[in-house]
């Protein structure tokens, strides 16, 4: 049985991913930072939630301890989905250094911390898959989201570089751009979602079901790595 660590698993997309993986018979390790109640609810409702880990992924030593806890509870993971992220939306000139650091350290350094801490056990057990959840903002930028856009662009660079480093260990790593979803952060950005729907080739937002189906496709692959997948249907989208 495959085992997946999902960071930010109590958020909108994170919970959707956990529920989908559970439906496919994948054991999950549910990560949360503050919302442990939601994590416990998931464990109560889903038979495949093997463990809950709580911690601030922006802190390397916290994540290293988390990885040791996971080894004790479930043995190892062969899937990592770096989904946890935050945004602080404001113009750059109004950012404080602390706000910038919080976004970059959670979204980008957090993914580094998780990969750095969990990859050794992946190598020991013969490989696996890593999926980094990026964003359209990381490709084209977004006004008022300089830190968020930079962090999500950084995730793509991290993905491309590590695909070259980790392939020798049979570890596949890809990035996924979900697009605007009627979940979590998306629900708090009604105007942005409307603009996304207006420029969509299909006249609507991305579907959470399409996102998790794409995740499933990537996880089934044996030779796809170093790719950036998108569920966006935006007119004129290119890299």
Phi, psi dihedral angles at 5 (to 5 degrees):
-95, 125
Cα separation, 79 vs 77, whole angstroms: 6
User: Which are the contacts of 97, defined by CB distance < 8 A and separation ≥ 6?
Assistant: none
Q: How many CA atoms lie within 13 A of 91 on its CB side?
A: 2
Catalytic residue among 148, 169, 180, 239, which? 148
148 annotated active-site: yes
For β-strands 171-177 and 128-133, DSSP reports them as parallel
Cα separation, 197 vs 216, whole angstroms: 25
Q: Which two tokens stand for residue 51?
A: 């463990």
Catalytic residues: 148
């Amino acid at each position: 049985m495959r085992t997946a660590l999902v960071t930010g698993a109590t958020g909108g997309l994170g919970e959707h991913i956990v529920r989908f993986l559970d439906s496919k018979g994948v054991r999950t390790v549910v990560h949360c930072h503050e919302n442990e109640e939601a994590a416990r609810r998931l464990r109560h409702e889903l038979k495949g939630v093997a463990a809950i880990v709580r911690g601030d992924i922006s802190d390397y030593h916290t994540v290293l301890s988390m990885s040791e806890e996971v080894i004790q509870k479930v043995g190892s993971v062969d899937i990592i989905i770096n989904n946890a992220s935050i945004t602080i939306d404001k113009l750059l000139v109004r950012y404080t250094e602390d706000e910038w650091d919080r976004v970059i350290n959670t979204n980008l350094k957090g993914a580094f911390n998780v990969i750095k801490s969990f990859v050794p056990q992946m190598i020991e057990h013969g490989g696996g898959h890593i999926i980094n959840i990026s964003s359209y903002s990381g490709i084209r930028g977004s006004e008022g989201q300089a830190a968020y856009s930079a962090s999500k662009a950084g995730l793509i660079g991290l993905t491309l570089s590590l695909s070259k480093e980790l392939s020798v260990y049979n570890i596949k790593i890809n990035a996924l751009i979900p697009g605007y979803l009627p979940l979590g952060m998306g629900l708090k950005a009604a105007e942005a979602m409307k603009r996304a729907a207006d420029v969509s080739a299909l006249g609507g937002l991305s579907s959470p079901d399409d996102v998790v189906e794409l995740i499933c496709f990537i996880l089934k692959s044996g030779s796809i790595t170093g790719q950036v997948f998108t569920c966006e249907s935006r007119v004129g989208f290119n890299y």
